[in-house]
Copies of this chain bind each other. A is one copy, B any other.
Amino acid sequence: MSAVAADAVRWDAQRLAAWSDPRLSQVEAALSQWVGIDAPVLLGDAMRYAVLDGGKRLRPLLVFAASEAVGGQAEAALRAACAVELIHAYSLVHDDLPCMDNDVLRRGKPTVHVKFGEADALLAGDALQALAFELLTPEGDIAPAVQARLCRLLARAAGSQGMAGGQAIDLASVGLALDEAQLREMHRMKTGALLLGSVEMGAACAGAVEPASLQALRDYGAAIGLAFQVVDDILDVTADSQTLGKTAGKDAASDKPTYVSLLGLDGARAEAGTLLAQALAALDRSALADTAALRALAHMVVDRDR
């Protein structure tokens, strides 16, 4: 089946919501139960403020969709979904600090350091990262091999060759003229690694996955990882701060290289479309039984307005 043909049977918004809403409720309930509980009071408050009741939860949804496509274990998927969201949340807290992007607004609310002070924001981010790995390694029902694989994938996605490494390149690139390959590599690490990692972690919730299907999921994850950032760059130019829930126009103002500055607005939109087609084509090539949720999420990444 071609990507276009597959596209013809894609879920509408209502069908996607019917799939995602119960999973999002499950994630919210689990995060509320697991984050900041029994932590010293201010630290626990800062952790919960950073994580609860905010964000699109795209990464958890990718974990669920990939896990369900390969028949992954539900408890492992829930923990992986929460863990990857904690890493995402901690990165935002640290990213917003004065020594980084110095942002005061996130998801329409004051950033963590504005509300709790810089020191507690720093510690809350640190503690959220540790908690992510704690959630992945419960005593009990999840096979140790799955636990270890989930930790490995998350650590790689978050570390110096993934998200943190991409942020360091981003820091160093302000005012520089990156070419498209360099920009792509930076974003593959900074944003793409954790999105790809979400898909890989979902796949890791099954004991074993047929190699071709695993590769298809990886190709899908890499494509939507980049597409996400291309659309982010577009929205930074086209959306207003209220819709975004964060300060719009920051990249242009800080002279950061973006897909829009490199390809123009039309070029960036075309690139997002190409990456979407690549993601869908990867799923077409696979022998995975049910990829409807993955497809719908790919469309959501590209069509989103915030």
Contact = CB atoms under 8 A, between A and B. Distances in A.
Contacts of A145: 144
Interface string A154-168: 111011111011011
Interface in A117-147: 117-120, 122-123, 125-127, 129-134, 136-139, 143-145, 147
Contact of A136 (B120, B149, B151): B151
A273 interface: no
Interface of A: 36, 38-40, 42-44, 47, 90-91, 94, 97, 99-100, 117-120, 122-123, 125-127, 129-134, 136-139, 143-145, 147-149, 151-152, 154-156, 158-162, 164-165, 167-169, 171-172
Contact of A156 (B134, B149, B155): B134
Number of copies: 2
A164 B123 contact: yes
Contacts of A155: 130-134, 137
A47 B168 CA distance: 12
Contact of A39 (B99, B137, B161): B161
Q: Which of A147, A148, A155 has the most CB of B within 10 A?
A: A148
A118 B99 contact: yes
B100 A122 contact: yes
A156 B40 CA distance: 14
A38 B156 CA distance: 12
Contact of A99 (B44, B119, B129, B149): B119
